[in-house]
Amino acid sequence: MRQKLLELERSARLLEPTADERLTVREKVVDYTEDFLNNIESLNAYNPQGDKGIGLLDSPISENGIGIDEAIKLIRDNVDTPGLNPASGGHFGYIPGGGIYYSALGDYLADVFNRYAGIFFAAPGAVRMENMLIRWMNDLVGYPAGAAGNLTTSGSLANMIAIVTARDGRNIKSADIPRSVIYLSKQTHHSVAKAINVAGLNECPVRYVELDEKFRMKADDLASQIERDKSEGLNPFLVVASAGTTDVGAIDPLPEIGEIARQHGLWYHIDAAYGGFFILTEEGKTKLKGLELSDSVIIDPHKGLFLPYGLGVVLVKNAEDLKYSNRFDAHYMQDAFRGNEELSPAELSPELTKHFRGLRLWLPLKLHGVAPFRACLEEKLFLAKYFHAEVQKLGFECKNVPELSVVAYRYVPKTGDANIFNKNLLDAVVADGRVFGSSTMIDGDFTLRFACLSFRSHLNTVQLLVDILREKVSELS
């Protein structure tokens, strides 16, 4: 037995590299990342897919390890090269963010120390840090002292937690579902529909509120649909507004919707995944008035605070609602909730054991302070106005005046099908690779989207996009 144990220990101990081994591997990893960061300005925003990372399969998971040089080569060739480069400032598609560096170091610290951030008893400091960040965001949106929240992996998960909380907060039981009505708009992000589905609410009647010419919900249409549904004996219980739609960055009339939700007793959820952090700017603060009227809101630090992917946030005005929807009982954890001065993430989300996500937000906020984030967001608002003006000078038509940092635009050629032209134009821009863009359909029109939210996008990057558009339009015409 002893002999066997010592033998196994020899092999098991390989999992703890020596200080020298750590140094070697760490330096190679850091060198690789430094090489990337030092060249980020000249790297493409998009690389045609090539063999799509298939080379990884030539090196299967096996009994014996490989060296760090070989591992980095596999990552470089197969993972970090093909496809979209979201770290590039030339990424103007979907909703970019960039991935600020100190967040990566926050993750490194969180992972080396491996604090158990699920429960206050186990890691009071880690949980206090997360709660402090949640309080900071609750203050930003104007929620009172009794509010709570959770750091999730993404906006989609944050929406899911919010929708489940709305369901329970309005006491929707299975028998109520067929008559319990949800109000969305055609601009609502699809993760809300997914959340409704996952929450078991897909048999709720869903009403799409009419949009005005700026793609915002018409509050009077919302009110009249609710009244009609009520008069027919239905139970309107949830309205989801957007504070910055993904498509065009539209902000629904938040105060008016808040008033209607209050009058009719609806749960008021706001999806501010993309737009929420613009509240740090003066312009954003004015435009986002009414966030405080909601019962729940989501915001995405991996968008509006430029963090690497992996952080969304759900905020709920009444902590009890969030607690109720995530209640549980486990005998083996009977001693884990002693001396609870603080709420624990495990009580407020479907997760138990979780990554200590707080550090990836706390470290950059503490090292930089809020000021550069605020400036960067304001810069993005101005870059959208700049792009909007410049692209029209090139003869493009815009589907929106930027409310935040998204511009929907398309070129209408003198002859031929405009949809085909714009699709070819986008393909040409993406194939060029220096910048990346994406598209959407607006009123049946194939429309290009300029979504400016990478912290690495500046005047020169936007100018490059404008120049490339000019070049490609003339080539295609």
Ligand X SMILES: *Cc1c(COP(=O)(O)O)cnc(C)c1O
Q: What residues make contact with ligand X under the rule CB under 6 A? A: 95, 154-156, 159, 189, 191, 242, 245-246, 271, 273-274, 300, 312
- Provide φ and ψ at 100, rounded to 5°: -70, 150
Please, which residue, 229 or 247, has the CB nearer to ligand X? 247
Report which secondary-structure segment, H or E, holds 34.
Answer: helix 19-38
Please, which residue, 26 or 186, has the CB nearer to ligand X? 186
Both structure tokens of 105: 């170091």
Tokens 């299967």 belong to 60
Please, which residue, 147 or 299, has the CB nearer to ligand X? 299
198 contacts 354 by C-beta, under 8 angstroms: no
Please, which residue, 258 or 275, has the CB nearer to ligand X? 275
Residue nearest to ligand X as judged by C-beta position: 155
Whole-number minimum distance, CB 444 to ligand X, in Å?
A: 22
Whole-number minimum distance, CB 343 to ligand X, in Å?
A: 23
Whole-number minimum distance, CB 306 to ligand X, in Å?
A: 13
Whole-number minimum distance, CB 342 to ligand X, in Å?
A: 26
246 contacts 189 by C-beta, under 8 angstroms: yes
Whole-number minimum distance, CB 293 to ligand X, in Å?
A: 18
Please, which residue, 123 or 254, has the CB nearer to ligand X? 254
Please, which residue, 78 or 98, has the CB nearer to ligand X? 98
Which one-letter DSSP state was computed for residue 76? Answer: I
Identify the CA nearest to 449 among candidates 91, 210, 47.
91
Residue 121's Cα: distance from chain center in Å? 30
Please, which residue, 152 or 344, has the CB nearer to ligand X? 152
Please, which residue, 381 or 425, has the CB nearer to ligand X? 381
Alpha-carbon gap, residue 94 to 288, rounded angstroms: 21
Identify the CA nearest to 380 among candidates 360, 402, 365, 358.
402
Whole-number minimum distance, CB 270 to ligand X, in Å?
A: 10
Whole-number minimum distance, CB 291 to ligand X, in Å?
A: 14
SS3 category, 217: strand
Rounded to a whole number, what is the distance in angstroms from the first to the last CA of the chain? 80
Alpha-carbon gap, residue 270 to 309, rounded angstroms: 21
Secondary structure percentages of the chain, helix, strand, coil, to 5: 50, 15, 35
Whole-number minimum distance, CB 86 to ligand X, in Å?
A: 12
Q: Where are any strands of DSSP class E within 156-266?
A: 180-184, 206-208, 235-242
Tokens 């815009």 belong to 398
Residues 6+ apart with CB under 8 A from 237: 166, 170, 172, 180, 181, 182, 265, 266, 267
Please, which residue, 158 or 448, has the CB nearer to ligand X? 158
Single-letter amino acid, residue 20: D
Single-letter amino acid, residue 469: L
> Which residues are 238's β-sheet partners?
182, 267
- Provide φ and ψ at 98, rounded to 5°: 115, -70
Torsion of CA 400, 406, 411, 417, to 10 degrees: -90
Whole-number minimum distance, CB 247 to ligand X, in Å?
A: 9
Both structure tokens of 261: 């939700």
Please, which residue, 163 or 293, has the CB nearer to ligand X? 163
Please, which residue, 300 or 403, has the CB nearer to ligand X? 300
Whole-number minimum distance, CB 285 to ligand X, in Å?
A: 19
Q: Per-residue b/e over 299-331, b at no fewer than 16 CB within 10 Å? A: bbbbbbbbbbebbbbbbbbbbebbeebbeeeee
Both structure tokens of 291: 């966030």
Whole-number minimum distance, CB 271 to ligand X, in Å?
A: 5
Whole-number minimum distance, CB 241 to ligand X, in Å?
A: 11
Angle (CA) 273-252-215 rounded to 5° is 100
Identify the CA nearest to 400 among candidates 447, 458, 469.
447
Please, which residue, 154 or 344, has the CB nearer to ligand X? 154
